[in-house]
Amino acid sequence: MYEPGIIKKLDEEVVNRIAAGEIVQRPANALKELIENSLDARSTNIIITVKAGGLKYLQIQDNGTGIRHDNLDIVCERFTTSKLSQYEDLQAISTYGFRGEALASISHIAHLTILTKTASDKCAYKASYENGKLKGPIKPCAGNNGTQITVEDLFYNVLARKRALRSPNEEYTHIMEVVGGYAIHNSHVGFTLKKFGENTDIKTPIKSSVIDNVRIIHGNSIARELLEMEVKDPTLKMSVHGYITNVNYSHKKGAMLLFINHRLVDSPTIRKAVDSVYATYLPKNAHSYVYLSLELDPKNVDVNVHPTKHEVQFLYEEQIIDRIKTAIETKLLSCNSSRVMYTQARLPGATMVDEIVRKTTDGAKVYAKDLVRVDSDTQKIDKFFRVANKQTDRPQTNKTDLTKDYIAVIDDASDRNELDRRKETNRTTNTEANVPMDVDIFEENNEPTNKEITTPRFVFEDEDHLNDIENSVKEPNKTNNINTEPNNKNPIDLIDLESPSKEPNNKNPKDMDYLDSSLVSEPNKNNYPKHNWKSVAVENENISYIDPKESFKTRTFKYERVETKLTSVKQLRYRVENTCSMNLREILANLIFIACIDCNRSLIQHSTKLYLCETSRLTEELFYETILYDFQNLGLIKLSNPLPLEELFVLGLRAQEDEWNPELGDMRELSQQMVELLVSKRAMLLEYFSLEVTSQGELAALPLLVDGHTPFMGALPTYLVRLVTEVNWDSEKECFDTFSRQTAIFYSQPNPDTLEDIVKSEMWKQEHIIFPAIRRNFLPPTSFVSNGAILQIASLADLYKVFERC
Ligand code: ADP
Ligand code: MG
């Protein structure tokens, strides 16, 4: 049998030390109390100096009211305060302190010294304290107006606590959080934080602003994405003022800085509520930065629920949180930079085209199928004859075939009824400045000389001519002028390259460590007869001329960006820039879209020339470049239901091998290994490429390369298999290069379905999404000149010359 224990009153010192331990759990708690005292004393500048995370030394110097000389003897006793005299005062307390416990507590667990001077005192006074009592006499000494409190050897007599706080660095991090938080909230007060004898870590100026202080403390990546928000609700007697990051910003950890009635507090409920709003907009496990200052009727708040006043309780919590959530949501939707696109993912193989839902700037949803062409004035070739449907099934092959196809187009055009109809339309519209040149070209087809003129111009009769053309492109310095002889058997100049050999594109990318190549600088004027192009482009179109070399400098990004520091990515970008053909860039930058012949080929016009483009080749390069240039900044296509990777791999492997070769092992096992590889790379994939793979092996999001474009999901399984097998995961640069390439191939694949609706929608995408993006940013490689990706097929000037002779 155990005897019952004897109850006795605890020593006052023990009581005080227990109480002190509750209030001051770590140096940051003590500092928070001291900062609040300084703010209560109306300081405008606060300087904090720390040694060993505040455990050894913590000093705070302010320029506030100071402490009266005759209060110095009791200031560190428990329950001595200048801020509260009756319990009722608590209901309307507007100061931070009220319990008179902070200084007392600190003096029980540390050596505390106060040096203070009020404005009316002639000199400063210094006093040391132990266990709430003055230790030694109060000494007059020199000092500035304000108070300096020094706390040394914190927890020297609470060894268990001291042992628990082993890492000064961790304590310093907490101190930085507290100082940073108060500096942001009290932007009119200057805060300085430094380690003893070292440079300052935080220094905010007096009369700064919240955003400037966020920039100083957290950096520009957060500050530039901040949206200001404000809520006022007289019924709930609440108001909120704050700054929240827009949806472009996301961080693994995120942060929430919450002040309720100017007191730094933590509210897990508010944190969760805010997170739940952002969850719709940010990638999984990514968070926002949110600073909220919530002001509530003091009568509705109980600040006295937690010893460190770290938590508060307030009335109408649920309604207030709801108001905050709605306000954040509205703000996020109304901000211009919403760039995350949501799509409904079906099983692989199904099309997603019609299900694109974009959150637009005003927050309204616009379905892709409802979008209409904005520029209704611009005539397109398909208005005049139905080129597309007749061409859709044709396989895309070599140049000769392309030419034949093109002849087929011309033949279509010579159809009487169509031509009549077209003439009719043309008559009514040809006064407009922006009627494309193709109208003139085909108009002439109606003449009796039609066949004689067109046939020799578009048919390659033998291999020699092809070679001639290729040579003339490869060695453009020889003779590449437009041939004015109508009967000459070499009538087609693939691309009119005035002086491409002078292009600075033959530099070895390895030599190029800095972007400041001659490409970026002003090229020799003789090399680029842009004045001609400019005048023609401006004359013919009411569109602004885009200078090709500007593309490098002005790749226009809608969003503030994270600039990558990776040399490998920069090198890959230099390679793109060094192999870019400026002439082609000029053509594409100022292109006028004429029509899609089918899903793989399109006609564009530049100046007086007509070009045939292999759309998917252009698109692939465009996407490849987009991935490199938007590296770390790509948007996300969220899948509403994450897709199991293993199943996708099985599908992908099946698609690759009709008959599974058992030597390759078990297909499921292989799929699992493939899943493991992607899961192991998931952090990198998300951060760099916005490809989101969950830890459970599901695909949650794909990168958004060009706004409004989603890849053909039927090709997803093959893409994933190729990611595993074709990407070089071992070397950084190779990995980025091959990953970007495979992704570009996947994204540039059109839906192969020949259903009319699908073909139409593919073409719509190309005209309204892909070609505008090409116009804006695309840097075409020189290889496009010779490999038929872009082929000049008609020149109005030549045609005129032909007709003059007839
Ligand atoms: P409380 O803040 O709850 O009143 P404290 O123990 O924190 O209790 O402070 C006790 C008193 O000491 C305060 O009420 C205030 O009058 C005075 N005091 C403390 N710090 C300062 C300061 N930095 N400047 C001026 N007065 C101070
Ligand atoms: Mg206080």
**pLDDT, average across residues 778-792:** 87
Reply yes or no on whether the pLDDT at 497 is more than 70.
Answer: no
Looking at residue 801, its pLDDT comes to 61
Pairing assessment for the beta strands 357-359 and 365-367 based on DSSP bridges = antiparallel
Q: Could you report the per-residue pLDDT of 663-683, keeping only the tens digit for each?
A: 777 888 889 999 999 999 999
pLDDT digits (tens, 9 = 90+) for 402-425: 333 322 222 333 333 443 444 444
- 375 Cβ partners below 8 Å, 6+ apart? none
The β-bridge relationship of strands 289-296 and 592-596 is unpaired
Q: What is the mean pLDDT of residues 254-276?
A: 89
pLDDT at 522 over 70: no
Please indicate whether residue 609, judged by its CB atom, sits closer than 6 Å to ligand 1. Answer: no
Alpha helices per DSSP H over 490-545: 530-540
Mean pLDDT of 473-483: 36
Residue 62 CA to ligand 1 center (angstroms) comes to: 12
Residue 485 has pLDDT above 90, yes or no: no
Tokens of 652: 């992908």
Query: Ligand 1 atom 7: the closest Cα is on which residue?
Result: 102
More reliable by pLDDT, 544 or 616: 616
With a cut of 90, say whether residue 428 has pLDDT above it.
no
- Tell me the mean pLDDT in the region 498-521: 35
Burial of 217 (0-12, 13-18, 19+ CB in 10 A): buried
Q: Looking at residue 93, what is its pLDDT?
A: 58
Phi, psi of 521 (to 5 degrees): -75, 165
Query: What are the beta bridge partners of residue 152?
Result: 57, 111
Q: Across residues 280-290, what is the average pLDDT? A: 87
CB 117 near ligand 1, within 6 Å = no
State the pLDDT confidence band at 699, using cuts at 50, 70 and 90.
very high
Mean of the per-residue pLDDT values of the chain: 73
Write the pLDDT tens digit of every residue in 316-358.
888 899 999 999 988 888 764 444 444 333 333 333 333 333 3
What is residue 96's predicted lDDT score, i.e. its pLDDT?
59
33 lines ligand 1 (CB under 6 A): yes
**Helices marked H in 207-284:** 210-218, 220-223, 268-279
From ligand 2's centre to the CA of 774, what distance in Å?
62
Asked if pLDDT for residue 100 goes beyond 90, the answer is no
Q: Per-residue pLDDT for 174 more than 90?
A: yes
Q: In what order do the strands lie in the sheet with 365-367?
A: 365-367, 357-359, 341-343, 635-644, 698-704, 692-693
CB-facing half-sphere around the CA of 573: CA atoms within 13 A:
26
Task: State pTM to two decimals.
Answer: 0.47
The band of 249, judged by pLDDT with boundaries at 50, 70 and 90, is confident
| Cβ density class 341-352: b for 16+ within 10 Å, e for less | bbbebeebeebb
- Overall average pLDDT of the 393-408 stretch: 33
Which of 63, 73, 75, 95 is the pocket-test mutation for ligand 1 (most atoms within 8 Å of CB)? 75
CB of 517 within 6 A of ligand 1: the answer is: no
